[in-house]
Chains A and B, each alone.
Chain A
Amino acid sequence: MIISVSWRNIWRNKTRSLVVITAITLGIMAGVFSTAFMKGMMDKRIESAIHTELSHIQIHDSLYSKTNELKYYMQGTDALARRIDTLPHVSGVTQRIIVQSMISSAETGAGVKIMGIRPEEERKVTDIAEHITDGKYFEGIKRYPVVIGEKLAHKLNVRERSKVVITLQDLNNNLTAGAFRVAGIYKTSNTVFDESNVFIRYEDLAQLTGLPPGACHEIAIRVEDNRYTLPVRARINTLLTGRERALTWTEISPEMSYVTQVMDMYMYIFIIIILLALLFGIINTMLMVILERHKEIGMLLAIGMSRMRIFFMIIVETVLLSLTGGVTGIVLGTWLSKHFETHYIDLSMFGKGLEQLGYSSLVNTSIDPVMVINVTFMVIVTGIIAAIYPAWKAIHYDPAEALRIE
């Protein structure tokens, strides 16, 4: 019955309650949407990093991981790659030769990472082929094709079918060079990646470097879903016998998971700031409420309602008021976030800056159910905190004095 009284009390002054509820609704809706937006941006960055740059798991010679030296390649990896490809939940496996080198055009040169890949296998692991904006992915050029990023192409002032020269040190530390023609130009959401990664055929790079057949520096593995990363890595570990080590994408790029954690923390700080602002609004409203009901509270004390029950009644009223706005805000924020899960938010006016940081300018939101539950809980706690002072004030009313008020 007390809960019913509390609920009805909220609607005694509809305008005032609706103003407070609207403020809470807008605050929480903005909070939920903003966190979904930030999470969507982060998820997309991670997804792009995995699908374009890192893959889920990589295997290297442990010395190569430390030094990135050409000589620390893994031998006879074809059988291992085939075996990994048969593991459950593995959707693609590719072997790569990786060399730090120079790429030059007729006009200028740049230091880049050359990756010798097998295009058909690479397609199953990374999505560079889907980012081709000019030319084709290793098609159209029969001898020594190269695929470079758009940013690098601009830097070198080259386009499709232009000639570039790749200069590198071979296994015997001799300087060697090869002339390549641009088969395709790709553009990802990360301009730094586009500027520094060049793809040529595995066989071409093996020939240039003098690596034996089946040798590679990296085996990249894509799994069906990120949740299979750890189980698949555990299976792969049982297949490794030498110095090879299998690393997950969070181990290869720890800053990526740190950014996620930091972003989570920022999201909660953001919500807490919103709730703090709302807290004082709610306290103010509830102080007005108990001042208006001074006489009524005096009557309740007079007829024998305990101070604890009056305290509880005001706490319940405040929590219900906060929850009404909070839940409405969560529902609207979730609805808005769900809408933008399938519809892009176009930030192309900030695209250049975002792409420098590796973020796409087309963002989808991503709502986290745990965050929604936590926000609901935080709204309840805010309601309780906001109610404590007004409720404490109410229970200290003197009934005789309160009843004298006309």
Chain B
Amino acid sequence: MNIIEIKDLVKIYDSAEIKVTAVDHIDLTFEKGEFSAVVGPSGSGKTTFLNLLGGLDRPTAGTVIIDGTDLWSLKPRQIIDFRLHNIGFVFQSYNLLPVLTALENVEFIMHLQGRPKAERTKRAVELLQAVGLGDRLHSRPGKLSGGQQQRVAVARALASKPKFILADEPTANLDSHATENLLNIMEKLNREEQITFIFSTHDARVVKKARRVITLEDGKVLSDERR
């Protein structure tokens, strides 16, 4: 079952001096439970593609349909709300709120969704335990290692019960041990709970774990390999 349908997606950055086609007529579909990697060299359009998919950047042309909803037909305010309830994000530099503890960071997104305190605390604890941080619930990001912060970010992305998670270079700032640890956790969540992950990466270890590898070059799909 397709949860994402991308049709003829184009993104052109048109400044006064230069015109750059970052995403060039991409047609793709993603099914529920996929563990996909979008790869390619720097400037190939990976991040732009993920931004278009996540409703962060408006395409020049084309459509992104998520679970039957044409994302870019929504009003800006509706797109933010759609992201809150349907899309999880994991960023390269973690982007946790430094003033909140790990538990509060995970709870925060559920607070935005308007869920009751008891429910969000219970779920946040469960998720942090699932990513191996049951003993660091009350630590602030500054007291956690990069790998631990990224695991909190994964727990936060999962907390909103999204339809899929977009992870932009999630292992770029991690050492090999932390990368291995994080990938194992995400793979387990994907396998056991059918969480859909879409990564952009040029980390060979991530590519190795992915069950689908989409290669971009100059904004075009060069290959789409399923394993």
Binding site for A on B (CB under 8 A): 47, 51, 54, 56-57, 77, 80-85, 87, 89, 91, 93, 95, 97-100, 104, 107-109, 111-112, 156, 160, 168
Interface size of A by CB at 8 A reads 23
Neighbour of B85 across the interface among A299, A304, A400, CB < 8 A: A304
Q: Among the interface residues A8, A295, A301, which one has the most CB atoms of the partner chain B within 10 A?
A: A8
Neighbour of A400 across the interface among B56, B108, B109, CB < 8 A: B56
**CA A406 to CA B51, docked complex, whole Å:** 17
27 pairs of residues in contact across A and B, judged by CB atoms under 8 Å: A1-B108, A1-B111, A5-B97, A5-B99, A5-B100, A5-B108, A11-B99, A301-B80, A302-B56, A303-B83, A303-B84, A303-B109, A303-B112, A303-B160, A304-B81, A304-B83, A304-B84, A304-B85, A304-B112, A305-B84, A306-B112, A307-B80, A309-B112, A400-B56, A400-B57, A403-B56, A406-B93
Contact with B along A388-406 (1 / 0, CB 8 A): 0000000000011001101
**CA A400 to CA B84, docked complex, whole Å:** 15
A136 CB to closest chain B CB (Å) equals 74
**CA A161 to CA B226, docked complex, whole Å:** 122
**CA A403 to CA B57, docked complex, whole Å:** 11
Answer yes or no: A346 CB below 8 A from chain B CBs. Answer: no
**CA A301 to CA B51, docked complex, whole Å:** 13
**CA A18 to CA B75, docked complex, whole Å:** 41
Task: Judge whether B112 and A403 touch: CB under 8 Å.
Answer: no
Residues of B within 8 A of A154 (CB): none
Binding site for B on A (CB under 8 A): 1-2, 5, 8-9, 11-12, 295-296, 299, 301-307, 309, 399-400, 403-404, 406
A296-B97, A303-B84, A406-B93 known, 16 other contacts, Cβ within 8 Å: A1-B108, A2-B111, A5-B99, A9-B99, A12-B99, A295-B93, A299-B95, A302-B83, A303-B83, A303-B109, A303-B160, A306-B77, A307-B80, A400-B57, A403-B56, A404-B47
Task: Judge whether B81 and A299 touch: CB under 8 Å.
Answer: no
Residues of B within 8 A of A301 (CB): 80
Task: Judge whether A299 and B91 touch: CB under 8 Å.
Answer: yes
Residues of B within 8 A of A306 (CB): 77, 80-81, 112
B67 CB to closest chain A CB (Å) equals 16
Task: Judge whether B81 and A295 touch: CB under 8 Å.
Answer: no
**CA A1 to CA B124, docked complex, whole Å:** 15
**CA A404 to CA B22, docked complex, whole Å:** 15
Residues of A within 8 A of B160 (CB): 303-304
Q: At the interface, is chain A mostly helix, strand, loop or mixed?
A: helix
**CA A404 to CA B91, docked complex, whole Å:** 10
Residues of B within 8 A of A406 (CB): 93
Q: Among the interface residues B81, B98, B168, which one has the most CB atoms of the partner chain A within 10 A?
A: B98
Task: Judge whether B77 and A307 touch: CB under 8 Å.
Answer: yes
B57 CB to closest chain A CB (Å) equals 4
A8 CB to closest chain B CB (Å) equals 4
Neighbour of A403 across the interface among B95, B99, B108, CB < 8 A: B95
Residues of A within 8 A of B47 (CB): 404
Neighbour of A1 across the interface among B56, B87, B93, B107, CB < 8 A: B107
Task: Judge whether B112 and A305 touch: CB under 8 Å.
Answer: yes
A397 CB to closest chain B CB (Å) equals 11
A12-B99, A296-B97, A399-B56 known; A304 vs B80 contact (CB < 8 Å): yes
**CA A304 to CA B104, docked complex, whole Å:** 16
**CA A302 to CA B54, docked complex, whole Å:** 8
Task: Judge whether B99 and A303 touch: CB under 8 Å.
Answer: no
**CA A299 to CA B81, docked complex, whole Å:** 14
**CA A382 to CA B91, docked complex, whole Å:** 37
Residues of A within 8 A of B100 (CB): 5, 8
A22 CB to closest chain B CB (Å) equals 22
Residues of B within 8 A of A404 (CB): 47
Task: Judge whether A303 and B97 touch: CB under 8 Å.
Answer: no
B172 CB to closest chain A CB (Å) equals 11
Neighbour of A295 across the interface among B54, B56, B82, B95, CB < 8 A: B95
Task: Judge whether B81 and A303 touch: CB under 8 Å.
Answer: no
**CA A2 to CA B112, docked complex, whole Å:** 9
A209 CB to closest chain B CB (Å) equals 84
**CA A406 to CA B85, docked complex, whole Å:** 27
Residues of A within 8 A of B168 (CB): 403
Residues of A within 8 A of B84 (CB): 303-305
Residues of B within 8 A of A295 (CB): 93, 95
A305-B112, A309-B112 known; A403 vs B81 contact (CB < 8 Å): no
**CA A299 to CA B156, docked complex, whole Å:** 12
Residues of B within 8 A of A400 (CB): 51, 56-57
Determine the residue in chain B with the shortest Cβ distance to A7: B99
B14 CB to closest chain A CB (Å) equals 15
B203 CB to closest chain A CB (Å) equals 18
Residues of B within 8 A of A12 (CB): 98-99
B196 CB to closest chain A CB (Å) equals 17
Residues of A within 8 A of B108 (CB): 1, 5
